[in-house]
Amino acid sequence: MGRKLLLDKAHIEGIRYYDTYRQHGGYAAAEKALKLAPGDVVEEVKKSGLRGRGGAGFPTGMKWSFLAKPEGVPRYLVCNADESEPGTFKDRYLMEFIPHLLIEGLLISSYALGSNRTYIYIRGEYAWIPDILEQAIGEARQHGWLGKNIQGTGFDLEIYVHRGAGAYICGEETALIESLEGKRGNPRIKPPFPAVKGVWDCPTVVNNVETLAAVVPIINIGGEEYAKIGTGKSAGTKLISACGNINKPGVYEIEMNLTVEEFIFSDEYCGGIAGGKKLKACIPGGSSVPILPANLLLKTAKGEPRLMTYESLGDGGFVTGSAMGSGGFIVFDEDQCVVRHTLTLARFYHHESCGQCSPCREGTGWMEKVLHNIEYGKGKMSDIDLLWDIQQKIDGRTICPLGDAAAWPVAAAIRHFRDEFEWHILHPEEAQQRNYGLAHY
């Protein structure tokens, strides 16, 4: 059984409330961190090897050390709780069941970064969670963990919960900042990175919910100890939200050296494919990452077992690999239709494109139309090459990663399941009549 650092107490009755959280060791890491110099807390996070849990996997300690510190200018920490990536629901679980873990992580991280005003930007559709967070913030203030002169250290901190309005693009950090400032959530061109010019043009760190929660066990056990878990490049534990055609969908905490095979088939995690069917494919890191067919999912191109790590899931780049992404693990059984799923995703990205750059605005719409034709019996063989061409013209040519995220699923579907596209084109009536029993995510 793997070590649990984030969800080890999530099952305890009443852990959502301060008294229970405190009785079970809560705020011990904050006590410890507040006795250290802020720079030493940053060092501890650097030593841990923690990487951003929102999708990009950028080293957290490095991001923190990039934060500009001009004299007399406030610095901000923003928690990205705009969890909207299809297949991803692990941050919701953390906030809903163990909100004080996030508040404690925010306190420690704000102290380390010198942020006296920290924001939680939360997805609009998570309508019931702001109340849970506000309750935890109120309790933390009541017990002297927020407000002025926290625990007599001279450090002041307020945490504000800001609700988004339901746009996926606001999970992109610069769109999130625009939205937080009260504007339309259009991504900004980077550089400058938020670490230099973020909220109200001030230096800002934007980190994912899980990343900030992971700071608590890092301080509790020490950065070096945390770094011993996993594979080095993928240190620590990771939350995975597993869904699709599996026996036990849910949020799991894994050590990052578990094999994909064990994750899917063991009873401790997904419990195998539902209905005794065969595994067909998987999107292992949220809808933006390439789909992997079963043969490439369980073993790497070198024939080694594929691990639930940044490096193993991403090995070989586009050809054989996918990505750890946000940890949204979507499993497909043998009856699933890759064309239909690719269309669903194309529709999503078209709908969510902010429209600023032409390749994304126009290309996502084109991909949706062409896929719709193929799925609904009006496709031509040349449409497959057309789709390939469109995705290539989007990839790497846009302001923010949404363009790439729209292109990659299409590219991977054609690369690995071209025969399915051809079958749809050659058998239009049969393709329409099939009832696929789509996986839910």
**Looking at beta carbons only, is 226 or 349 nearer to ligand L3W?**
349
Instruction: Give, as ranges, the residues between 58 and 117 that touch ligand L3W (CB under 6 A).
Output: 58, 63, 66, 82-85, 88
416 and 282 in contact (C-beta within 8 Å)? no
- Other beta carbons within 10 angstroms of residue 101's beta carbon come to 29
180 lines the binding site for ligand SF4 (CB under 6 A): no
Sequence letter at residue 160:
Y
185 lines the binding site for ligand L3W (CB under 6 A): no
Edge to edge, what strands does the sheet with 292-293 contain? 250-255, 237-244, 328-333, 279-283, 292-293
Torsion of CA 361, 365, 368, 371, to 10 degrees: -110
Among 333, 361, 331, residue whose Cα is nearest residue 349: 361
Which span (81-89, 221-229, 350-358, 431-439) binds ligand SF4, by CB under 6 A?
350-358
Select the binding partner of residue 223 from ligand L3W, ligand SF4, none (C-beta < 5 to 8 A, by kind): none
From candidates 398, 408, 412, 425, binder to ligand SF4 by CB under 6 A: 398
Sequence letter at residue 419:
D
For residue 59, the minimal CB distance to ligand SF4 (Å) is 24
Instruction: Give, as ranges, the residues between 182 and 201 that touch ligand SF4 (CB under 6 A).
Output: 187
61 lines the binding site for ligand SF4 (CB under 6 A): no
Question: What own/partner pairs with CB < 8 Å and gap ≥ 24 does 310-315 have?
Answer: 310/51, 310/57, 310/233, 310/234, 310/256, 311/231, 311/233, 311/234, 312/231, 312/234, 313/260, 313/284, 313/285
223 lines the binding site for ligand SF4 (CB under 6 A): no
321: Cβ contacts below 8 Å, ≥ 6 apart = 290, 292, 313, 314, 315
For residue 171, the minimal CB distance to ligand L3W (Å) is 4
Instruction: Give, as ranges, the residues between 372 and 431 that touch ligand L3W (CB under 6 A).
Output: 401, 405
Site string for ligand L3W, 282-311 (x = CB under 6 A): ---xx-xx----------------------
Residue numbers at the binding site for ligand SF4 (CB under 6 A): 169, 187, 353-357, 360-361, 398-400, 402-403
Residue numbers at the binding site for ligand L3W (CB under 6 A): 52, 54-56, 58, 63, 66, 82-85, 88, 171-173, 193-195, 206, 285-286, 288-289, 323, 325-326, 401, 405
